[in-house]
Amino acid sequence: MSNDIEGPALAARFPSAFAWGAATSSYQVEGATDADGRGKSIWDAFVNEPGRVVDGSNGDTAIDSYRNIEGDVALIKALGLNSYRFSLSWPRICPDGDGRVNQAGLAYYSNLVDALLAEGITPWITLYHWDLPQVLEDAGGWPERATALRFAEFAKIAHDALGDRVKHWITVNEPWCAAFLGYASGEHAPGRRDPSASVAAAHHLMLGHGLAARAIKAADPEATISIGLNFYPVHAASDSAVDVDAARRVDGVQNRWFTEVALRGAYPEDIVEDFKAISDFAFIEDGDLETIKAPLDILSVNYYSRFTVTGNGGATSASAAPTGAGSAWPANEHIGFVSAGLPVTDMGWEIEPAGLTQVLTRLHTEYPEVSLAVTENGAAFPDKLDDGQVHDLERLDYVQGHLAACADAVEAGVPLVGYFAWSLADNFEWAWGYTKRFGLVYVEFETGERTVKDSGRWYGDLVRRARSIREAE
């Protein structure tokens, strides 16, 4: 698939005013965890517990983006990208998780925004990419309603400081991961294994989204509001009733649980019934669902792979890190995930570009009132630096195939407004530590030295072609 002939033809298939970008998150890239008044997050605590991270590493240094604004913005500029998605570290801005502000933390993000804008790069800010202040976890974390209220305060603080220059706001990234990997399986921080609490956490993450979205819209009606959800096409392993039911359940928890409440103001009834085995839903108060159904301009789509499921399994997803994590599927622990025989990435995730087209067209059919953006898409492979270069042909093919899938969706009438590769650079990959590389840019973790991979060069060339085509029209 990877050849130069594909580039010009593919570039011409995208609309004008398209956001071409790459994405990162604060804990994975910033480092400087003790610098300038930053408080502790749940990840700072989690990584220090033996056995939580496969290589025993942490994000104390990461790739030191906190001290390298100029260099990282230059990388984004060199790639030809016109947009950059990054997240704010809640404990860097509000170390105590409340309304008291660390001005040095805000200054870092203000300087980053200014540097991006100076190079013609549009910032897309994610308010929450999993780094909850530890003090809020100590008070109960996302299973507690108070955390959603504190998050709304944080959103207002961030918007008050940056909203004069930033118009694109993603409230919460992948609440499925934050709730079910954080509070059910224990694979992610805070590492709890309480299925009932995970369902409450999922609700309060969505409540936090709604409160934050409404606060930002009240301050700036022209702001573009989104939420980042990770979607998977879900296939039954067979036509048996038990496998078909497993697919319904996984599709419901992974996909419909979040879209239905965000865009329709109600959780899917069948999944509510499934969850009643572990939850009485006493945490849902009058008005919550209407609050969650906040004005939404863009639905941010994170896509990596597909699921094939069986009701006769009992195995957890192949994505789980080998750290003894439990099931991420509360009330569905009997479901197993099986291979469809497709090629896989270094994470063991099956590669199916057509699944992205399927996700985008389904979302547009079911929720035609919102635009869509692919805000994460990428793959880990065991990259090697060879004589100053990284020839990552597998990733190049992955990106090209998924961009072609995006173009197919556009031509099918999907209002797709952007694509962000995950990730800009190799970084700290959560429970996998530094053992997995997703970046368009190779990072030598000992020195922090950056090298653009072949996939990054190819993507940059495609972006430049696409932009030149539109400018010439």
Q: From 61, 42, 65, 64, select the one nearest 52 (Cα to Cα).
A: 42
C-alpha neighbours within 13 Å on the C-beta side of residue 256: 15
Q: From 327, 58, 304, 315, select the one nearest 184 (Cα to Cα).
A: 327
Q: Is residue 301 within 8 Å of 364, Cβ to Cβ?
A: no
Q: Is residue 381 within 8 Å of 392, Cβ to Cβ?
A: yes
From residue 189, give the alpha-carbon distance in Å to each of 23, 38, 53, 185: 21, 18, 10, 10
CA atoms of 76 and 83, how far apart (whole Å): 8
Q: Is residue 366 within 8 Å of 359, Cβ to Cβ?
A: no
Let me know if 137 is a catalytic residue: no
CA atoms of 58 and 27, how far apart (whole Å): 9
E strands, 26-173, are 83-87, 122-128, 168-173
C-alpha neighbours within 13 Å on the C-beta side of residue 159: 26
Let me know if 273 is a catalytic residue: no
Structural tokens at position 22: 């790459």
CA atoms of 152 and 216, how far apart (whole Å): 9
> 308 by DSSP, 3-state: which?
strand
C-alpha neighbours within 13 Å on the C-beta side of residue 319: 21
Q: Is residue 130 within 8 Å of 177, Cβ to Cβ?
A: yes
CA atoms of 359 and 365, how far apart (whole Å): 10
Backbone angles phi, psi at 209, to 5 degrees: -55, -50
CA atoms of 351 and 345, how far apart (whole Å): 7
Which amino acid is residue 368, in one-letter code? P
DSSP 293-306: S---SEEEEEE---
Beta bridge partners of 272: none
Active-site hit among 30, 137, 144, 174: 174
Using the Cα atoms of residue 249, residue 253, residue 255 and residue 257 in order, give the sign of their dihedral: positive
Provide Rg for the chain, Cα atoms: 21
Structural tokens at position 159: 């918007």
Say how far residue 163 (Cα) sits from the centre of its chain.
Answer: 21
CA atoms of 15 and 466, how far apart (whole Å): 9
Active-site hit among 144, 260, 376, 429: 376
**Catalytic positions, written as ranges:** 174, 376
